[in-house]
Amino acid sequence: MDEADRLLEIDRLRLLDTPPEPVFDAIVAAARSATGMTMGLISVVADERQWFKANIGLEGVSETSREISFCTHAIRQDELFEIPDARQDPRFSTNPLVTGGPRIRHYAGIALGSAYGARIGTLCLLDPMPGVLSPSQRELMVHLARVTTQVLEQRSTLLAQVGQAKALHRELKRSEDFLERTNRAARVGGWELDLVSNEVRWTRETKQIHGVRGNYQPTLETALSFYREDSRSIIRTAVQRCIDEGASWEVQLPMITADGRSIWTRVVGGRQQVDGHPRLVGAIQDITEERAVLDALEASETRYRRLFHYSLGLICTHTLDGTLTSVNPAAVQSLGFDESQMVGRSLGELMPADRRDGFSTYLERIRANHTDSGVIELIGADGLRRYWAYHNVLDEEADPPYVLGHAQDVTALRQQERIMRELSQRDPLTHCHNRRYLHRLDALVGASWACLLFDLNHFKQINDLQGHRRGDAVLVEFAAFLRRPLAEREAVVRLGGDEFLVVIEAPAARLAALERWYRQHAATAPASFSMGCSEHQPGEAVAETIHRADSELYRTRARVRRDVRPDPDPHSIDR
């Protein structure tokens, strides 16, 4: 696809210069969390600039010129494009994004393709330190890029469907206005039937409607001859009833004019006494255009109803106070309620209790901005949470005004993001926290915390003599042993290999109690271990606190090994 077509695809997706959206921020956050890189973007590479739809870590910047963008190179690649150290790459070593802020060193970006094959931008990560993604991290980036592409197309479909629904409503309103103007401007012809002489008189407008001119005056039979036989019987019945009972009548019937036109007419009549003679007096109107408008309205309404009923998107309408007035089958199916259980209820009642405070704020935004987008949490009939990514608009032209909502169920995507975040922060073997947990300790400014560092003794011998499967089992059992005495807010971190860290947010007394527990229960551990502990000092780096615990561990191990007897206790923690 050439550049012109690529730019047309960007226009079709309607991404440029739009507000942030939670789903894209979540994707970038997942990629950033999984790789540990400090900056993450979803970029759109336009004609002369690259603009950021999602931006985490590069605050204050919404776009850069395309000339200096890394992503311009990435969209030309079939696979993930990675620069381990931009200072060493002649293509980027003099780039102002490398030589100045944000001083990019490590870059990894993968092109985002549209449904028609155009590469419209990238999912990319940046870091001021050199580095290389692992194979699993590269695979995750590829997966997240596919997810982003799917969300972009779903968003485009969502906007198109909302736009179509809005257009249908505007068309209905225009048709109603047109019908009113037609009624005001329509010429109405008059007619009169003398019941004594059976003489019929037509006005000039009535003659024009029938396609005749001059002094033409019909008989009752010639007047009826303009209608089909079945229509004539309707008029005859109405006329006779009017003569007998004095009942007024109105009918709408098709006719063929004298000059061969097929038209629709509205005919009304009633009985009157004129100059002492009983007469039927009435009017006739050409309603062909009105009928056409009504047919168009009916067809338009039918199309709208089909869209509403069969759309895979979740469509609903609600009043300005949040009361649901309609829901389509897709929305009903998403939550698992019957339609009758939703219509007439406030949308806020379907939200979790901890999210209802934000509902009034949402309604205020709709009133102020006439549109709103985001993700709303709802509770389904099964009691589980659903996540809807919505784009709602206020129809001010309606009386009363109402909100037309269109959404996509992104519950599965949210659950997938949660699982990916969990996997990126947990050791897959022991399910302990991994080293990323240490970033939390950096954030505990002024807080009191302490740690115990553990190292399995002679773990290599277990792997060598009993096999790695047994070694893995020992690690899992040892992690369970470490968790046994811990409170809810106390955590086990696997630093790597056979090194574990227990972190507590508690005073020194708790640290001493845990240290005693581990020594007293060392015999129940799957292998012997060495242990060291330390309390975090104000202003001290996390690494320094752990280093002090490590130093104590090795001092204890060295001391015990000097004092060890020929037949040591196999369950000694410092064997």
Cis peptide before 96 (omega within 30 of 0): no
Q: What is the pTM of this model?
A: 0.37
Question: In the structure encoding, which two tokens stand for residue 54, read together?
Answer: 């999602």
Q: Which of 170, 140, 115, 131 is nearest to 32 (CA)?
A: 140
Look at residue 119 in the predicted model and tell me its pLDDT. 94
> Residue 339: CB partners within 8 Å, gap ≥ 6?
327, 332
Look at residue 565 in the predicted model and tell me its pLDDT. 47
Secondary structure letter of residue 68 according to DSSP = G
Are 255 and 227 spatial neighbours (Cβ–Cβ below 8 Å)? Answer: yes
Q: Which of 293, 268, 260, 280 is nearest to 185 (CA)?
A: 293
Secondary structure letter of residue 150 according to DSSP = H
From residue 417, alpha-carbon distances to 218, 388, 389, 421 in Å are 81, 15, 14, 6
Question: In the structure encoding, which two tokens stand for residue 415, read together?
Answer: 């659950």
Look at residue 220 in the predicted model and tell me its pLDDT. 84
Q: What SS3 state is found at 265?
A: strand
Look at residue 308 in the predicted model and tell me its pLDDT. 66
Amino acid at 218: P
Secondary structure letter of residue 57 according to DSSP = S
Q: Which of 24, 56, 32 is nearest to 375 (CA)?
A: 24
Helix axes 22-35, 411-425, angle to 10 degrees: 20
Are 518 and 452 spatial neighbours (Cβ–Cβ below 8 Å)? Answer: yes
How many Å apart are CA 71 and CA 74, to the nearest integer? 5
Kindly tell me the burial class for residue 165, based on how many C-beta atoms sit within 10 Å of its own C-beta (0-12, 13-18, 19 or more): buried
Q: Which of 95, 149, 105 is nearest to 127 (CA)?
A: 105
Amino acid at 537: Q
Are 186 and 286 spatial neighbours (Cβ–Cβ below 8 Å)? Answer: yes
How many Å apart are CA 451 and CA 122, to the nearest integer? 41
Beta bridge partners of 113: 119
Look at residue 179 in the predicted model and tell me its pLDDT. 39
In angstroms, the first-to-last Cα distance of the chain is 67
| Angle (nearest 5°) at CA 246 between 245 and 249 | 110
SS (HEC) of 549-560:
HHHHHHHHHHHH
Kindly tell me the burial class for residue 503, based on how many C-beta atoms sit within 10 Å of its own C-beta (0-12, 13-18, 19 or more): buried
Are 154 and 406 spatial neighbours (Cβ–Cβ below 8 Å)? Answer: no
Look at residue 99 in the predicted model and tell me its pLDDT. 95
| Paired sense of beta strands 249-256 and 200-202, if any | unpaired
Q: How many CA atoms lie within 13 A of 118 on its CB side?
A: 21
How many Å apart are CA 328 and CA 317, to the nearest integer? 9
> Residue 13: CB partners within 8 Å, gap ≥ 6?
114, 120, 152, 153, 155, 156
How many Å apart are CA 217 and CA 202, to the nearest integer? 7
Are 435 and 427 spatial neighbours (Cβ–Cβ below 8 Å)? Answer: no
Give the distance from CA 181 to its chain's centroid.
42
Secondary structure letter of residue 158 according to DSSP = H
Q: Where are the beta strands (DSSP E) in 334-384?
A: 371-379
| Paired sense of beta strands 450-456 and 119-127, if any | unpaired
- Longest distance between any two alpha carbons in the chain, whole Å: 141
Task: Tabulate helix, strand, coil % of the chain (nearest 5).
Answer: 45, 25, 30
Per-residue pLDDT of the chain (575 residues; tens, 9 = 90+): 689 999 999 999 999 999 999 999 999 999 999 999 999 999 999 999 999 999 999 988 999 999 999 999 999 999 999 999 999 999 999 999 999 989 999 999 999 999 888 999 999 999 999 999 999 999 999 999 999 999 999 998 888 888 787 777 777 677 545 434 444 454 688 888 888 888 888 888 889 899 998 888 888 888 889 998 888 888 888 888 888 888 888 888 999 999 999 999 889 998 888 777 788 888 998 888 888 877 777 776 666 666 666 677 888 899 999 999 999 888 888 899 998 989 999 999 999 988 888 898 999 999 999 999 999 999 999 999 999 999 999 988 888 898 998 888 888 888 887 777 767 788 889 999 998 888 888 877 667 899 999 999 999 999 999 999 999 999 999 999 999 999 988 999 999 899 999 999 867 889 999 999 999 999 999 999 999 999 998 888 899 999 999 999 999 888 776 654 444 444 445 54
How many Å apart are CA 558 and CA 552, to the nearest integer? 10
Give the distance from CA 69 to its chain's centroid.
28
Question: In the structure encoding, which two tokens stand for residue 73, read together?
Answer: 């190179």
How many residues in total does the chain contain?
575
How many Å apart are CA 263 and CA 253, to the nearest integer? 9
